Amino acid sequence: MKRVHEIEHADIVHRCFRCGYCKFPEDYVDFNCPSYRAFGWDTYSPGGRMWLIRAWMNGELTTTPHLAEILYSCAACDNCKEQCVFPRFKDYLPEIFQEAKAEMVTEGLVPPKVRDYFKAVAVNGNPYKLPQAERGKWAQGLGLPVFSDQEYLFYVGCVGSYDEVGQKMARSVGKLLMDLGLSVGILGDREHCDGNEVRVMGETGLFTALAEENVIQFKALGVKKIVTLDPHALNTFRRDYPRFRGDFEVRHFSEVLADRLAEGEPVLKGWKVRVTFHDPCYLGRHNGIYDAPRRVLQAIPGLELIEMRRNRKNAFCCGGGGGNFFTDILGGGEDAPARVRLREALDTGAEILVVACPQCYKMLDDALKAEGKEEVMEVIDLAEAVRRAG
């Protein structure tokens, strides 16, 4: 596997699979890896993947559909990086998995669902294969202006633009931002895919094209500040776009809401309810934003926030990351990450599960239905929680 050798990651691969500490972060109780939880084989763990990657590098394994499925089952949740005890190379772990997938792309041997995802984004500009003209329909009737010279561009992303649950969240957040008096505009049908999942799944050429297109458009419009609906977009705008001269001030909507509530806006009447909060991987582990959504919830009079056993940096992933939201390689069985996480939320005794990511929203809402617990708990987004308390 040429790419791993080129950037001298071979030693890291070897050390990783011989360690395995990330399997036992909490007194050997939990292995906080969604793909391992779904399939139950060590092959699907970080160390197991490293064994396979090393054998692949050394020519002991050839590229097979099963190997590709194992590599693409990674949800890119960054838990292995968070739990790793070797500071010198922990940051390289997700990068190595990404490089392995990039090699799969180069060889043209990605799983069919991954191939179809890339094709849909390349041809249609979104993974839903829907027309560009429909991208802004989620905002109809809200009165959100088209971006011109506002302080913030509200970037919604593919899930918020096209998915039914994502659209519900986009409308909720967009309306609240507007009600708060934030100077904000949207791109509507001029918005393009941010490319985070394209990059994570290894299609570097397509990602570069998307990033360059967005940077050119944002600069031409005079965009300086961006508030995102989706933590996945936040991640790539913050961490990847600067390589393409895309130096923008990027914030997640939860950060904006937390600041406004700290300033006393809006004045909330209160809401007597017990809630629990799910930390999105791309908001928490990838970008270190844990407090902002909790500050929003704690600002609501009468609301009781009950933490799940696994929270903040140890939060269990819903399984949607790494493109799995679109490819569904992890599946939806009883041990699917979203259903495991939903059961953890139910164990708190909370009435409401609050989310801050459209992908998490969809995954956990579907899990609620699969578990048959719709009469026991409701999944809502963070902005909706604020609106109910207003």
| Residue 379 zone, left/alpha/beta (φ > 0; ψ -120 to 50; rest) | beta
Q: Are residues 193 and 246 in the same domain?
A: yes
Q: Give the pLDDT confidence of 87-100 residue by residue, as tens digits.
A: 666 667 778 888 89
| Selection from 314, 326, 390 nearest residue 362 by Cα | 326
Helices (H) and strands (E) in the chain, counts: 19, 8
Same domain, 18 and 106: yes
Backbone φ, ψ for residue 351 (5° rounding):
-90, -25
At 68 the pLDDT is 93
pLDDT digits (tens, 9 = 90+) for 316-348: 999 999 999 999 999 888 999 999 999 999 999
CB count within 10 Å of CB 115 equals 15
Give CA–CA dist 172/354, Å, rounded: 13
| pLDDT at 314 exceeding the cut of 70 | yes
Judge whether 120 lies within some domain: no
Mean pLDDT of the chain: 91
Looking at residue 251, which CATH number applies to its domain?
3.40.50
For residue 53, what pLDDT is reported?
86
When pLDDT is averaged across residues 54-74 and rounded to a whole number, the result is 89
Q: What is the pLDDT of residues 48-60, one digit of tens each?
A: 888 888 888 888 8
Cα–Cα distance measured from residue 226 to residue 241, given in angstroms and rounded to the nearest whole number: 12
Q: Is position 138 within any domain?
A: yes
> Of all residues in the chain, what percent carry a pLDDT higher than 70?
91
In this structure, are 364 and 342 located in the same domain?
yes
Q: Are 80 and 296 in contact (CB under 8 A)?
A: no
pLDDT, residue 341, reads 97
Region 71-93: mean pLDDT is 80
Range of the domain at 151: 127-257
Asked whether residue 117 is assigned to any structural domain, the reply reads no
pLDDT tens for 176-232 read: 999 999 999 999 999 999 999 999 999 999 999 999 999 999 999 999 999 999 999
Tell me: do 320 and 379 sit in the same domain.
yes
Q: List pLDDT tens digits, range 222-279.
A: 999 999 999 999 999 999 999 999 999 999 999 999 999 999 888 899 999 999 999 9
Indicate the pLDDT class of residue 63, thresholds 50, 70 and 90: confident
Q: Are residues 142 and 38 in the same domain?
A: no
Which CATH number does the domain housing residue 272 bear?
Answer: 3.40.50.10700
Tell me if 341 is assigned to some domain: yes
pLDDT of 171 strictly over 60 = yes
Residue 16 lies in a domain: yes
The pLDDT-based confidence of 145 (bands split at 50, 70, 90) is very high
pLDDT category at 67 given cuts 50, 70, 90 is very high
Percent of the chain with pLDDT over 90: 75
Question: Average of pLDDT values for 8-30?
Answer: 58
Q: Does the residue 310 lie in any domain?
A: yes
Q: What pLDDT score does 25 carry?
A: 53
Residue 7 confidence class, pLDDT cut points 50, 70, 90: very low
Report pLDDT for 72.
Answer: 95
Reported confidence tier of residue 30, pLDDT bands at 50, 70, 90: low
Q: Which of 16-20, 251-255, 294-298 has the lowest mean pLDDT?
A: 16-20
Q: Which of 56, 77, 110 is the last residue of a domain?
A: 110
The reported pLDDT for the residue numbered 24 is 61
Is 115 a member of any domain? Answer: no
Residues 239 and 328 in one domain: no
The answer to whether residues 45 and 31 touch, using CB atoms and an 8 Å cutoff, is yes
Q: Per DSSP, what are the bridge partners of residue 273?
A: 303
Last residue of a domain, one of 76, 110, 144: 110
Cβ contact 235:287 at 8 Å: yes
| Same domain, residue pair 137 and 234 | yes
**CA separation (Å) from 288 to 25, 242, 281, 300, 310?**
19, 19, 9, 23, 16
For residues 177 and 289, membership in a common domain is answered with no
Do residues 102 and 144 both lie within one domain? no
Using the predicted structure, report yes or no on whether residue 1 has a pLDDT greater than 50: no
Does residue 390 contact residue 266 with C-beta atoms inside 8 Å?
yes
Q: Which residues are 226's β-sheet partners?
A: 153, 250
The domain tally of the chain equals 3
Domain match, 287 and 342 both? yes
Q: Between residues 64 and 125, which one has the greater pLDDT?
A: 125
Examine the domain organization and report whether 210 and 136 are in the same domain. yes
Domain boundary residue among 257, 288, 316?
257
Q: Give the other-Cβ count within 10 Å of 60's Cβ.
A: 9
* 222 and 274 together in one domain: no
Q: Do 22 and 47 touch, CB atoms closer than 8 A?
A: yes
- Structural domain includes residue 262: no
CA distance 81 to 98: 13
